[in-house]
A and B are shown apart, each in its own frame.
Chain A
Amino acid sequence: MPLMVEEHIRKNKRDTLLVCIFMLSLLFAIIFAFGFAIGFPPIIAMSIGLPISIIYILASYSFSVQSVIAAAKARPANPRIRKEKIFMYKVEEMAIAAGLPVPKAYVQDSSDINAFATGKKPEEAIICVTTGALEKLNTEELEGVMGHEMSHILNRDILIATVTVGVVGAIALISEILLRSFLWGGGRQRGKSGGLIIIAIVFAIFAPIFSRLAYLFISRRREYLADANGAYLTRNPEGLARALEKIKADLPDDPKGSPTVAPLYIANPFKRALKDSIWATHPPIDERIRRLREM
């Protein structure tokens, strides 16, 4: 039954911790491998690698919300524009239906229809929609989308999603920096054991992929639940179903923001990811519509 979410919330909190630990060890392994490969003794490599990775994870944890908002180039909704005012109204209504504090309403300038929720806890949550969604969805459909996003907040999906997005981004960035600096300076290395260098390079290439896969696995399962709970909040599955249909018909031609943030959105803003594969951040949209219509 929808809204029996206590169990899910507990699981989400545990998963967030696991993801953080997993990412921490991944990051540490990268830095350690590189330090070791370019000739630092293990102890030094470790004493440099550990603090750097811990600080990095902590920093990306605390700045995750800001970095998501920055990556999406979102701005606070303007109550003087009627459509954005109605969006703010809908956010407030859904918060009341869910019995949660009212999240901040943000708008992203983009012609696509999309929306996402972020924040580490319900008290400081943010719901963001694209101007395209405000333009193309009617009130009922917008309400359906808001219900879906509010469920992500209610289920604490936003915590794990936001933190992971931040950390996945950090890992991708660090691997890239290390990989580049390594390849660039690689020629001047003294003949350290070649095998280790190769392992380190392989590691730097695969770590971002691993961290992403780990996240994708978690992300897809949550969408059906958020659809179901969202429909429960609005008492109107048809609204969300129609919004999803519009999203499907209106394939994004000009995705905004970085692909790392993609899992946060209600539907993936990148075309290729609409297909059903292990790389998909979301379950297939047709299946979601079908399940909503069956409620």
Chain B
Amino acid sequence: MIWIILVAIVILLLIIATVVYYYNKIIRLENRIDNAWAQIDVQLKRRADLIPNLIETVKGYMEHEKSVLENVTKARASLMNAKTPQENMEANNQLTSALKTLFAVAENYPTLKANENFLQLQDELTHTEDKISYARQHYNDSVLAFNNAIETFPGRTFARRMGKKEKPMLEIPEESREVPKVSF
């Protein structure tokens, strides 16, 4: 009799341990996704904050390139208004291509290219863009780990009980994956 009770207790403890382990694992992985999103958000804000400075620096030199500057300002505005992660990413891509045009046009202005302030902003914006794409990559890695955990057995059973569903990854458009070159 005493053996049966002991065995029952051991089994019960094992079950509790498993439940706790998977519960914690799923929660931890889900938190990692939220944290990864927060990282992206910080970088997006940082990028949006740098734009007014850039416009201010460039304005004096590029008087004949109003439309280029307007595109950048517009893209920034839509980034500020974006709500969902995917909207944010789309606005960010818009901004990336607007900036690409701006930096390409800047090649025609040797005095601007010699401007210390402009160079620093360019470096910093490129760096922020790289950080955004790495943050997005980390976000997708985290989503993948989470999805794997809740789709495979036995995590699957727990995830259902906890009402957890697969999360979507952030789409990465082809062109923005290529790392912008900073030449030494």
Contact = CB atoms under 8 A, between A and B. Distances in A.
A82 B130 CA distance: 17
Contacts of B97: none
- Give the interface SS of chain B, mostly helix, strand, loop or mixed: helix
Contact of B138 (A92, A99, A140, A236): A99
Given A85-B123, A93-B131, A138 B138 contact: no
Given A139-B184, A235-B137, A99 B36 contact: yes
A83 interface: yes
A179 B180 CA distance: 58
B142 A99 contact: yes
B131 A98 contact: no
Interface residues of B, number: 20
B61 interface: no
Residue of A82, A85, A86, A93 most packed against chain B (CB within 10 A): A93
B141 A96 contact: no
B122 to A, nearest CB: 12
A96 B127 CA distance: 12
Contact of A86 (B32, B43, B123, B131): B123
A89 B130 contact: yes
Contacts of B184: 83, 86, 138-139
Contact size class for A?
Answer: 10 to 19
A85 B122 CA distance: 13
A98 B179 contact: no
B89 interface: no
Contacts of B127: 86, 89, 92-93
B134 interface: yes
Contact of A92 (B131, B142, B182, B183): B131
B141 A93 contact: no
A270 B182 CA distance: 32
The listed residue with most B CB atoms (<10 A of its CB), out of A3, A86, A94, A99, is A99
Given A92-B131, A93-B134, 15 more contacts: A86-B123, A92-B127, A93-B130, A96-B131, A96-B135, A97-B134, A97-B135, A97-B138, A99-B32, A99-B141, A138-B184, A139-B182, A139-B183, A139-B184, A143-B179
Interface of A: 3, 82-83, 85-86, 89, 92-94, 96-99, 138-140, 143, 235-236
Interface of B: 32, 35-36, 39, 43, 123, 127, 130-131, 134-135, 137-138, 141-142, 179, 181-184
